[in-house]
Amino acid sequence: MDSGKPRALLSVWDKTGIVEFATSLVDLGFELISTGGTARKLKNAGLEVMSVSDVTRHPEIFDGRVKTLHPAIHGPLLARLQKKEDRIGMEELQYTPIALVACNLYPFVSAAAANPPLDKDALLEMIDIGGPTMVRASAKNHANVIICCNPDDYNSIIEDLKRSQGNPSGIPMLRRQALALTAYQHTASYDVAIANTLHSRWNGIPESFDSVAEQSARYHETLLASSMKMKTLRYGENAHQSAALFVDDDAQGTYSTLVTAHVEGGKAMSYNNYSDADATLRLCRSLSTDEWPDTPHACVIVKHNNPCGVALAKNQVDAYMDALASDPESAFGSIICFNEIVTLDTAKAMADLFIEVLIAPGYTPEAKEFIMQKGNRRLLTIDSPNDRLAPLDRKRVLKQIEGGWIVQTEEAPIIDWKSANTVTEKSVSDAEIDSMKFAVRVCEQVKSNAIVMVQGLSTVGIGPGQTSRVEAVRIAARRAGERANGCVLASDAFFPFADGLEQAAQAGASAIVQPGGSIRDQEVIDAANRLGISMLFTGHRLFRH
């Protein structure tokens, strides 16, 4: 029988604050309906709770798979009480309106990120059906139902209800619309997480289809992305631009990301800080591999999204000093990343350099204390396995353009160095091959047109982001100075004319690694032979725009 009290239906996975919220609702004259674990928690807190089964007069079935999917629940959620026909229908069916719904969904994102991974059946069980249906119905009928998906909104909803003396109809329409929008964002984000996870898992099982064509037809490509706003940033790239930081729903796993990194010291991170830190971290991850076992320490220095110094060394201090020597002028106000825990010796070596942000998988207590003596130092800690940055993962990169998006994958280039082709009369030595491997890995992260000069496993000159490849060579050579003599030079794309190679030879380069593929390759090869330079073609272009 209808008690005349407004009803609230509470069914939440995240039970943060739910007891306090429910208690306040009861104090305001609400009658509570709940189910499953939420109902047990409320009853254990001493609250009187009506079960969903009491309302539907139907038991939960299939191990709780079907609970709220019933006309006795969704009729009250969708009834337009401002319409006479709907009010009459509710009376005939003896349904009582539901004025408020608090519901958030099973944690599919964290379930998908479980380690070890959940098997197919266990993962599918984490897909909430009744919850999203209830949320969407309530949001659709927000004129009559207050929908809350975020525990952070509980207190403000209670304050709104107190102002209306417990009368749900007193909640303003703008407030209802805001809550409904949050609800749709909640279910949309949830559906994106499910679709992306299942796409990545199921799309990797081609044996379940008769042909590749059938597989492609089965998976219609739809770009889905979901992120939640973490915080508003001070401003964007420039002071007149607004900016914010969002975190991907799936930014969980065995180690932290740049967005979820622990930040200490100094001012809050800015838009430019995050942009530059991303470029720095990406290159450092690219070098944090087992490819150079004798030189495991990597240091990357980035300014305005371009590396200005990169090195691998046997110890961390040498890696820093070698990277700094590449371009000490540009390193002022830079972002620096190490792939190993920062030591006190390294901290002391950096003492005189102004650094915007320092990134590492950790810091010794002595190093952190020393670094933080300067109040403007910002430390980012990227939790990582074995206290070493994890290697660069293959990922999807999205770029918005007018009217749509362009999407690509990003990953470290996989080059078969045994099959790479030496095209000059002068052969490439094993030491030069090792330097080429390093130079190519760095070059891949430099804005195009890009030229990188290295000595051993350290950059000595970088020419980034030029419209002319010859000019990129000139810039790298100018920064390298005398250190260009005998260097290995990497180019992110082929030399379209011999002039760039001639400029490199004039600077002192003794070996060049480039993709090849120009219609004038032979002209460039002839110039290298004439100048006594060895040259290797990889067949892999490394543009970064």
378 shares its domain with 473: no
Whether 78 is in a domain gets the answer yes
Q: What CATH number does residue 102 fall under?
A: 3.40.50.1380
Find where tokens 């590396």 sit. 307
- Residue 337 pLDDT more than 80? yes
CA distance 424 to 429: 12
What are the DSSP E strand ranges found in 428-468? 451-455, 458-463
Q: Give the mean model confidence (pLDDT) for residues 45-60.
A: 88
The least confident of 54-63, 207-216, 317-326, 530-539 is 207-216
Whether 462 is in a domain gets the answer yes
Whether 148 is in a domain gets the answer yes
Q: What CATH number does residue 284 fall under?
A: 3.40.140.20
What's the pLDDT tens digit per position in 449-508?
999 999 999 999 999 999 999 999 999 999 999 999 999 999 999 999 999 999 999 999
428 shares its domain with 476: yes
> Is 140 tagged catalytic?
yes
Q: Give the mean model confidence (pLDDT) for residues 334-357.
A: 95
Three-state DSSP class for residue 464: coil
378 shares its domain with 300: yes
The last residue of one of the domains, among 367, 387, 407, is 387
Q: How many helices (H) and strands (E) does the chain have?
A: 19, 21
Instruction: Using a pLDDT cut of 90, give the percent of the chain over it.
Output: 63
192 shares its domain with 295: no
pTM for the full predicted model: 0.79
pLDDT band at 254 (very low <50, low <70, confident <90, very high): low
Q: What are the φ/ψ torsions at residue 227 (nearest 5 degrees)?
A: -140, 150
Q: What is the pLDDT of residue 381?
A: 94
CA distance 376 to 210: 61
367 shares its domain with 479: no
* Residues of the domain holding 84: 7-199
CB 142 within 8 A of CB 176: yes
The last residue of one of the domains, among 174, 199, 224, is 199
Whether 213 is in a domain gets the answer no
Higher pLDDT: 210 or 145? It is 145
What's the pLDDT tens digit per position in 95-125?
999 999 999 888 777 777 676 777 878 888 8
* Token pair for 63: 């191990």
Q: What is the pLDDT of residue 212?
A: 45
CA distance 77 to 90: 11
The last residue of one of the domains, among 143, 165, 199, is 199
Mean pLDDT for all residues in the chain: 89
- Residues ≥6 apart with Cβ < 8 Å to 465: 306, 446, 447, 448, 449, 450, 472
Q: What is the pLDDT of residue 213?
A: 46
Query: What does DSSP assign to residue 387?
Result: G
pLDDT band at 533 (very low <50, low <70, confident <90, very high): very high
Q: What is the pLDDT of residue 110?
A: 75
- Please, what is the end-to-end C-alpha distance for the chain in angstroms? 68
115 shares its domain with 178: yes
512 shares its domain with 369: no
Q: What is the pLDDT of residue 250?
A: 65
Q: In sequence order, what are the beta bridge partners of 537?
A: 421, 514
CB 407 within 8 A of CB 223: yes
* Token pair for 75: 């009729």
> Is 304 tagged catalytic?
yes
Q: What is the pLDDT of residue 54?
A: 85
- Residue 64 pLDDT more than 90? no
Q: What is the pLDDT of residue 386?
A: 84
Q: What is the pLDDT of residue 460?
A: 97
Whether 174 is in a domain gets the answer yes
CA distance 99 to 107: 26
Give the active site residue among 5, 140, 348, 426: 140
Three-state DSSP class for residue 147: strand
pLDDT band at 2 (very low <50, low <70, confident <90, very high): low
301 shares its domain with 173: no
What's the pLDDT tens digit per position in 308-332?
999 999 999 999 999 999 999 999 9
Q: What is the pLDDT of residue 59?
A: 83
160 shares its domain with 58: yes
Find where tokens 């700094």 sit. 324
Q: Give the mean model confidence (pLDDT) for residues 133-151.
A: 94
Whether 223 is in a domain gets the answer no
Q: Give the mean model confidence (pLDDT) for residues 411-418.
A: 84
* Token pair for 133: 């249906």
- Residue 149 pLDDT more than 80? yes
* Token pair for 202: 């199921």
Whether 323 is in a domain gets the answer yes
374 shares its domain with 419: no
Q: Catalogue the long-range contacts made by 248-254 (C-beta closer than 8 Å, 24 or more residues apart).
A: 249/109, 249/189, 249/192, 249/193, 250/109, 250/112, 250/113, 250/193, 250/196, 250/197, 252/109, 252/110, 252/113, 253/113, 253/115, 254/115, 254/385, 254/390
220 burial level (CB within 10 Å; 0-12, 13-18, 19+): exposed
What's the pLDDT tens digit per position in 161-183?
999 988 998 899 999 999 999 99
193 shares its domain with 60: yes
Whether 239 is in a domain gets the answer no
52 shares its domain with 130: yes
Split into its structural domains, the chain has a count of 3
Q: Give the mean model confidence (pLDDT) for residues 376-385.
A: 88
What's the pLDDT tens digit per position in 199-234?
777 764 444 444 444 444 444 567 777 777 888 999
